[in-house]
A and B are shown apart, each in its own frame.
Chain A
Amino acid sequence: KQEVTQIPAALSVPEGENLVLNCSFTDSAIYNLQWFRQDPGKGLTSLLLIQSSQREQTSGRLNASLDKSSGRSTLYIAASQPGDSATYLCAVDAGKSTFGDGTTLTVKP
């Protein structure tokens, strides 16, 4: 059974800092990995999707990498801003999606 782990569960950084969020998964037979953002009381917003054949994807200040062989993905956020404060979830898709519990990020002004 696929298991997805996100460490740390919570992270607090000062504004302007670059940071990395981690996602690990146990079964490398995946189609893709997707990173989401969830604001309190809201649904999930898709940030980036990396196909299994890709190594990374970039969108603005966000860069996601995928190392399928080691079962790891990272989400790099450059020059963090208070508006980046949210919970970030990763999900691996192998026909059905398995989600991690998320990392709750707080960016302090």
Chain B
Amino acid sequence: NAGVTQTPKFQVLKTGQSMTLQCAQDMNHNSMYWYRQDPGMGLRLIYYSASEGTTDKGEVPNGYNVSRLNKREFSLRLESAAPSQTSVYFCASKLGGANQPQHFGDGTRLSIL
């Protein structure tokens, strides 16, 4: 009963390094999302994929890229990490449609020095 799986759980990077956060869901969901959570700012949408083959920008897309590799997997890439990208990153998915609940992974805690 895995649900939404995120890897890695923790990561420390130096400024300028690149990395990819992985997300996979096993619920046959159509829509997938990447959020960041920062104290006092709530969860903010970075990118989302309404269905396989499509991706769209959210509220805070600058400095990030995404790939919807297939229906199960949605990755988030930081090309040149900056200290402002230190955050907890959450991946979520939902079946699709207006009234389906979102399901979240446990997050990736990313620190950029």
Contact = CB atoms under 8 A, between A and B. Distances in A.
Interface of A: 4, 31-32, 34, 36, 41-46, 49, 51, 89, 91, 93, 96-97, 99-102
A2 B43 CA distance: 13
Interface of B: 4, 33, 40-45, 48, 58-59, 90, 92, 98-107
Query: Which of B44, B58, B59, B104 has the most CB atoms of chain A within a 10 A radius of its CB?
Result: B104
A99 B98 contact: no
Nearest to B44: A99
A46 B98 contact: no
15 contacts: A31-B99, A32-B99, A34-B102, A41-B107, A43-B104, A43-B106, A44-B43, A44-B92, A45-B104, A46-B102, A89-B43, A93-B98, A97-B102, A99-B42, A101-B41
A44 B98 contact: no
Contact of B58 (A32, A91, A96, A100): A96
A101 B40 CA distance: 6
Contacts of A45: 104
